[in-house]
Structure 1
């Protein structure tokens, strides 16, 4: 018998099956356990030390207030107002950050002339600038959007610049050898390499946008989660303040996770190791 025929007739080895992970990961269980332990210690300490509710309420009292704000519907108009400010400011910061970052990275003159002024403006405390936005734009939604955009702008800008400057020089040489134009080189090589850095900056920028919107509402607003914090702080409603902080944390985490989901679908090939986070 021909050896090749004997090999062909032999049964093939069964393919190895890759194990399928199911259930909750160990890290997630550890986070849940630590969180529950922390809340348990907090609850016992407040009860044992008899801490007054107007100083530090117990987790159970805060959870009851969170549920009350939700069932009564009181939190929804404030939540939606802050969400609109955050998204609008984040969109404005993204447009300006991507546009200016691209110019700084690709045009040497813009980098030498404009970028030092951007760095100088970044050193100015944004809380000190927010009252000026109230004077310039009034007490409407505009100063909150501008404040959110100003705070979220810088991490997006820096990551765009870092992503474009991190382009592999060999790829650029290849595009030059193929007689590709600057626009083709940007779309085919520089833009795909910059996207992981961009999304890393966006994940940080969306959190900064939440902070910026709240800072703007602290200065002057009648609607929004920041104004609700000021109202409850004036009434010494500490449990109510913690309830607002819970909804603020929920907003920030949800927006950050949404951006990470988009990044996994659109920028699936790599994640940057040296992206700028702040």
Structure 2
């Protein structure tokens, strides 16, 4: 038990030291740009982190309100895109013909940049909420499909032969074996897609949505240096939203796939 506590303290201590070093370097860089180099609009290049945090505290209620709008639309599209992606993975695993037919179209769909597709979708639909949901789902389904399909295909031949020796039906084969094998790959795809879903929703908001954290970004940029710390605060909130979604998925993964090596108990540490 004592060994485990020391190990955990060492890991947390290393993280704190790295975080402190990064903050000190940030502050030193801001000081150099503003006081030594004396560049034009220094806060636009690299602002003081303590002033960014001060602005974040000052506008915190507004940030939370607009961030909640972005998060809500993002997670709705994320869930829908994940469901579609997982369904496509199962469908493609059932038939090689279906996989070969759908794969080129799926790959081609990902060649369209988000920054180019977002204004098209928003211009056609004229609904900010629905556009954010669609864009979040669009960037989610492909990583989920690819990683879940890889998980389904990772089953060992001996496992398949054992199930077939018991005359298992296709439904039983998926329910007892293939879907469970797909979960690690599914969560890998979800963790890749989570930040992208947030980014896609913010890009839609930059196109003229009435609310959301992207709207605050645009408005703060409009006022230039007068609202530069407000802009950096929105960047921090965007990062926090993406991290929150990532952590939620990580907790779900730990709960639903406890057999993975990184989640197994290491046993008792030596005292």
TM-score (norm 2): 0.87
Residue among 243, 262, 265 paired with 2:255:
265
| Counterpart-to-counterpart distance in 2, 1:55 and 1:238 | 10
After superposition, the C-alpha distances for 1:179-225 in whole angstroms (9 at most, x for unaligned) are 11000011001011111111111111111111111111112212101
Residue among 137, 149, 162 paired with 2:125:
137
Residue among 228, 242, 248 paired with 2:216:
228
Q: Is structure 2 residue 15 aligned with structure 1 residue 31?
A: yes
| Counterpart-to-counterpart distance in 2, 1:139 and 1:180 | 48
In the alignment, what sits opposite 1:41?
25
Residue 167 (structure 1) shift: 1.1
Instruction: Tell whether the 8 Å contact from 1:139 to 1:220 is kept in structure 2 after alignment.
Output: no
| Counterpart-to-counterpart distance in 2, 1:87 and 1:177 | 42
In the alignment, what sits opposite 1:4?
none
| Counterpart-to-counterpart distance in 2, 1:250 and 1:148 | 17
Larger radius of gyration: 1
Q: Is structure 2 residue 207 aligned with structure 1 residue 219?
A: yes
Instruction: Tell whether the 8 Å contact from 1:152 to 1:212 is kept in structure 2 after alignment.
Output: no
Instruction: Tell whether the 8 Å contact from 2:56 to 2:233 is kept in structure 1 after alignment.
Output: yes
In the alignment, what sits opposite 1:58?
48
| Counterpart-to-counterpart distance in 2, 1:27 and 1:157 | 34
Equivalent residue runs for 1:1-278 within 5 Å? 19=2, 21-22=4-5, 24-49=8-33, 50=35, 51=38, 52-70=42-60, 73-236=61-224, 237-270=227-260
| Counterpart-to-counterpart distance in 1, 2:260 and 2:43 | 49
Q: Name structure 1 gaps, 5 residues minimum.
A: 1-17, 273-278
Report the CA distance shift for 1:37/1:109 in structure 2 as closer, same or farther (over 3 A).
same
Q: Name structure 2 gaps, 5 residues minimum.
A: 263-271
| Counterpart-to-counterpart distance in 2, 1:144 and 1:271 | 36
Report the CA distance shift for 1:151/1:123 in structure 2 as closer, same or farther (over 3 A).
same
Instruction: Tell whether the 8 Å contact from 1:149 to 1:212 is kept in structure 2 after alignment.
Output: no
| Counterpart-to-counterpart distance in 2, 1:181 and 1:169 | 16
| Counterpart-to-counterpart distance in 2, 1:19 and 1:53 | 47
Aligned length: 253
After superposition, the C-alpha distances for 1:94-117 in whole angstroms (9 at most, x for unaligned) are 111001111112212211211211
After superposition, the C-alpha distances for 1:217-236 in whole angstroms (9 at most, x for unaligned) are 11221210111101101111
| Counterpart-to-counterpart distance in 1, 2:168 and 2:25 | 64
Residue 269 (structure 1) shift: 0.7
Which structure features the higher share of helix residues?
2
